[in-house]
Amino acid sequence: MSNSDLRGVISAVTTPLTQSFDVDAERLAGHCERLLNTGCSFVSTFGTTGEGASLSSQQKMVALEQLKAGGADLKRHIPSIMTPSADEAGRMIAKAASLGCRGVLVLPPFYYDAPSDEGIVAFINDAMTRAGRPDIDILLYNIPRFSRITYTPELIDRLIAKFGSAIVGLKDSTGVAANAVMLAERYPNLSIFTGDDRVMPGLVAAGGAGMIGGMPNVFCADLAKIYAAPTAPETAQLRQYAGERIAIVDSNGGMLALKAALAAIHDDPAWLRAVPPLQGLDSAQATSVLTALGKTGFVPSKAA
């Protein structure tokens, strides 16, 4: 299987920004390297947690080029493709392939209501044609809360029929454990990931691949321990903390709360920046998040 290595904890990386709201490639490179050295098998840039829908394809392609030029091992990077334009998707896919990225995580085209399965297949086919049909693995990004489109089994079957072994996996960000387990059981040859820490133990126990999510930005080492022993008594406390942590983050701005935690870890307020219309947490909000996370064992200087 070409995707046999696609397992473990993959961080959906938060994107550090310059004052002009461009990607801060230097900070991003350091953050990705830290994650890969503390338990993450891969990193996925420019997804929902990475503000991928707020950044232009050009900004993201420039950042990938800067990462490569700086020595990053892009064989361990899986950038997200988040655009309703097949032309932009194709250019992003082509760039990822030319730089040697491990694969791409493809969001279905959003904006128009209820496109047909045939339309979704046609969109990805058009994007791949515009990319020049590169030899790169495709992971499907199932997050209907934002895309309003679900990668159903029927749609997945159509995509496999069209693209064959190029479809290697799926990230299920529904947060519904039964859905993730169903996908893992139905598609044993695909790497099925969840986006939710709370779902990961049961999914891994059922044969799933692991998780691609935002929480590893801060808690990579703990989540790697859970992945390695998803049902063992020795990780019971960590599993409890993981559930409490994601609840705190989700109720305090999600990615914005993670950026506040990273600002504390790095003692660097630049991490608080978000691309408008989003705005970073203010000092009171950030303090509240850090205090709550502190009750789950979070210590900024030691977080990984």
Question: Are 136 and 156 in contact, with CB atoms under 8 Å apart?
Answer: no
- The catalytically annotated residue of 68, 141, 194, 241 is 141
The dihedral over CA atoms of 140, 40, 33, 94, expressed in degrees to the nearest 10, equals -20
**Omega prior to 277 cis, within 30 of 0:** yes
What CA–CA distances, in Å, run from 209 to 69, 77, 223?
30, 16, 13
177 and 207 Cβ atoms separated by less than 8 Å = no
Given the residues 48, 83, 194, 296, the one annotated as active site: 48
**Catalytic position from the list 60, 95, 171, 225:** 171
Q: Is 187 a catalytic residue?
A: no
Give residue for tokens 């086919």: 125
Phi, then psi, of 12 in degrees rounded to 5: -80, 100
171 flagged as catalytic: yes
Structure letter (DSSP) for residue 281: -
Active site residue 111: yes
Is 48 marked active-site? yes
Output b/e per residue, 100-126; b: 16+ Cβ within 10 A: ebbbbbbbbbbeeeebebeebbebbeb
Place of tokens 């991928």: 52
**Residue 83 phi/psi, 5° resolution?**
-160, 145
Positions annotated as catalytic residues are 48, 111, 141, 171
